[in-house]
Chains A and B, each alone.
Chain A
Amino acid sequence: MFALVLMSLRAKQRKGVEFFDALLMEICSPLEKASTVVIKTVQKTFQEHVFLVNVEKENRMLKQKVSELQEENHRMIEVRLANERLKQLLRFREETPLSMVGAEVIGQDPSSWFKSVTVDKGERDGVKKGMAVISPAGVIGQILKTTPDYATVLLITDYNSAVDSIVQRTRAKAIVAGKGENRCQLKYLLRTEEVAVGDAVVTSGLGGNFPKGLMVGEVKKVDKKGHGVFQYAELAPSVDMTKLEEVFVIMEPLRPSPPQEEKVKKGKKNRK
């Protein structure tokens, strides 16, 4: 009945009802507010703490994904770099008329006094002692020891290495000898020869192992101060021997061709 009275009063005019409305609202709103605060607090607690279990899992998963992608990225970069290197090697191989076999460097010299590397090609691939080892940038060294599947390359920076060479600009003859530590020196370079810093040094082709004209390095220091017949010159190899990865072994060591008569004699013997 009371409700009906109220409804009828409201329908007729709004007077006198506002008080009840206000009273009810004033009573309920604080409760509502308190309830909302509690709910929000609970929700917040759940979102920030309880639901974080999943977030933590997700975070871990994402981190793993990121590390996987990073690893893949590194792998892709490595593949791209290897591809570029191999393309360069292939181009070099196509441009060079020599018969060569590609080899991968699989190990460095265990001692600090000697400079050599081990490659994954050996006697089964036709590699023999004394064969020249080069890269697109220039001369690396020569084969020192061979096994059926592997070979040791004596680098031109080794103290025991000697390569017959000429200074490209002046054609001055000298022997490139190793000096350790990625450096070489020009031995037996006559004092009368004009050699300047920056001059390129190439193989002379006289040693028998290296074809003529292969880049050996660049003159970095010239010293004529001392006495004697020869001058001192230091050379930086054109190849960084500390970063060797792939090399080429020249399969045909240059041998002086036998005179025509000998060839004929041999031919006759073979026929017999």
Chain B
Amino acid sequence: MRRLILPLLVGIFFLVFQTTFLSSFPIQRIRPDVLLIFTLYLAFVFSPIFGGVLAFFLGYLMDLFSGNTLGFYTFSRPLVFLTAQLLKERFYLEGFPFQFLFAFFFSLSEGIFISMLMNALQPIPLASLYPSFFTCLFPQSFFTGLATPLFFFLFRKGSSFVSRQPEQGGR
């Protein structure tokens, strides 16, 4: 239970961080998606079912605080998690460039997927949506990729600290 609740609390913390602190910067396009980075990290440490449930909740949280009513992120985040789980064994993910590319690829893919869903569900196709690939999606994916190594490092430190705590308490 603790293994499920702790990442959820961390997810809520990062959601608040993303909606308040990161949104306070004047340039919105450089705001990295910390929750996506966290979902990707979960793919390395959690089993498909356990992590899938967590990714679902994280996506649900995103939808809850965002202006979309159709639950795109509730759908896309478990998909991101499962795809990352499938790919994690096939890619070398140590070091800055690999982690950057990994997160950049997922951020870009998720953005394209959501925009396609948005367009498909609109009664009239949104012509103005695709130019925002370059003005909004690409810069955000880039900065998400850039921030990933740092956040992966922090998550690792945090999880090793948390996993060490019960041992120390038991002594």
Name A's B-contacting residues (CB within 8 A).
Answer: 106-116, 118, 144-145, 152, 154-155, 158-160, 179-181, 185, 242
Contact = CB atoms under 8 A, between A and B. Distances in A.
Interchain residue pairs A-B with the least CB separation, the first 7:
A116-B67, A108-B23, A114-B67, A107-B19, A114-B66, A114-B68, A111-B66
B129 interface: yes
B128 A179 contact: yes
7 contacts: A107-B16, A111-B62, A112-B137, A112-B140, A113-B111, A181-B132, A242-B28
A181 B137 CA distance: 11
Contacts of A155: 67
- Of listed B66, B118, B136, residue having the most chain A CB within 10 A: B66
> Chain B, interface size: which category?
20 to 34
A144 B69 contact: yes
Nearest to A154: B67
Contacts of A185: 128
A154 B69 CA distance: 10
Contacts of A145: 64, 69
Nearest to B107: A112
Contacts of B68: 111, 113-114, 160
A113 B66 CA distance: 9
Contacts of A159: 118, 122, 126, 128-129
Contacts of B33: 110-112
Contacts of A118: 19, 65
A110 B35 contact: yes
Interface string B50-83: 0000000000001011111100110000000000
B124 to A, nearest CB: 8
B15 A181 contact: no
B71 to A, nearest CB: 12
Contacts of B114: 113
A145 B122 CA distance: 20
Nearest to B15: A110
B20 interface: yes
Interface string B115-144: 100100010001011001001110010000
Contact of B73 (A111, A115, A116, A154): A111
Contacts of B66: 109-111, 114, 116, 152
A180 B136 contact: yes
Given A113-B115, A113-B118, A159-B118, A107 B20 contact: yes
Contacts of B136: 112-113, 180-181
Nearest to A115: B67
Among A106, A110, A115, A158, find the residue whose CB has the most chain B CB atoms closer than 10 A.
A110
Nearest to A242: B28
Contacts of B35: 110
A106 B33 CA distance: 19
Contact of B19 (A108, A154, A160): A108
B115 A110 contact: no
Nearest to B35: A110
A109 B140 contact: no
B65 A110 contact: yes
A108 B137 contact: no
Nearest to B27: A242
Contacts of B115: 113
Contacts of B16: 107
Contacts of A181: 132, 135-136
